[in-house]
Each structure stands twice: as structure tokens, then as C-alpha cells.
Amino acid sequence: MLRERKENEHNMLWFVIKKRMSDLKINQSELARRAKVNTTVISALKLGKIDKPSFELICKIADALELSLEELRVR
């Protein structure tokens, strides 16, 4: 049950990120560049290998995607 919840949270987070990337017409490499993180970090996030992204990472991604933290919040 806990694992399913984590997967759902991950899927919802990535859905928001992917949608915004599409809106901005950018790919994962460009997101990584804008967020000033390695492309492997974005890939790991996409694949669910990062269970709990750090607050710092979420802030970097939000800034890179021109989103508020609230818009990235998983409910």
C-alpha cells in the first residue's frame, strides 16, 4: 500500500513536470540545464529512482519550469 502511494505521488509529480516541459517545448536535457542539475538527476526522477526529491531539487525544477512550489505539490 505504501509503495503504491509513493508510485502514485511520483507519477503525479512527473506528470506535472512532463506537461510543463511540453508547454515550454523543452526536453529533459534543457530542463537539467535550466535547473543546473545533471541530466542523470532528471532521468532518475523520471524513472522513480529518487524516492523523495529534496526541497532544493524541487525548488530548482520549479524555477526552471517557471512554476510555483504549489504547482509541483503532490496531493
Q: Count how many domains the chain has.
A: 1
What is the residue-wise DSSP string for 4-63?
HHHHHHHHHHHHHHHHHHHHHT--HHHHHHHHTS-HHHHHHHHTT--SS--HHHHHHHHH
Range of the domain at 38: 2-72
Share the mean pLDDT of the chain.
89
pLDDT at residue 24 above 80? yes
Q: Place 68 in a pLDDT band, splitting at 50, 70 and 90.
A: very high
Residue 23: give its domain's CATH number.
1.10.260.40
**pLDDT single digits (tens) 25-57:** 999 999 999 999 999 999 999 998 998 899 999
